[in-house]
Amino acid sequence: MKRIMLIIGVFCSINLVIAQSLVVTGDTYFTGLPTDQITHHLDVKNIANKGITVVCQKTYLSTPSALPNWAGASYCFAGNCYSSSSTSPSSTALLSPGQTFSYANNDLEAFSGYYDPAETPGVTTVEYCFYDEINPSDNSCVIITYDVSSTSSLNEINKMMSDFYPNPAQEMVYVDYYLNKPAELIVMDILGNKVNEMNLSARGTQKLDVSDFAKGIYFGNLIVNNETVTIKKIIVR
The verdict on residue 70 lying in a domain is: yes
CATH number at residue 123: 2.60.40.3880
d(CA 108, CA 93): 10
Kindly state whether residues 26 and 143 are assigned to the same domain. Answer: yes
> Tens of pLDDT along 115-157?
999 888 889 999 999 999 999 999 999 999 998 875 555 555 5
The mean pLDDT of 25-33, rounded to a whole number, is 88
CATH number at residue 191: 2.60.40.1930
The verdict on residue 99 lying in a domain is: yes
The verdict on residue 14 lying in a domain is: no
Residue 153 has phi, psi (to 5 degrees) of -65, -40
**173 burial type by CB count under 10 A (0-12 exposed, 13-18 middle, 19+ buried):** buried
Residue count of the chain:
237
Kindly state whether residues 202 and 232 are assigned to the same domain. Answer: yes
Q: Classify residue 72 as left (phi > 0), alpha (psi -120 to 50) or beta.
A: left
Q: Indicate if the pLDDT at residue 92 is higher than 80.
A: yes
The verdict on residue 9 lying in a domain is: no
> Tens of pLDDT along 144-195?
999 887 555 555 556 788 889 998 888 999 999 888 888 899 998 887 888 9
Kindly state whether residues 70 and 109 are assigned to the same domain. Answer: yes
- Nearest of 197, 198, 189, 194 to residue 217 by alpha carbon: 189
Kindly state whether residues 184 and 133 are assigned to the same domain. Answer: no
Amino acid (1-letter code) at residue 81: C
The pLDDT value recorded for residue 149 is 77
Residue-range definition of the domain harbouring residue 165: 159-236
Kindly state whether residues 31 and 144 are assigned to the same domain. Answer: yes
**Number of compact structural domains in the chain:** 2
pTM: 0.61
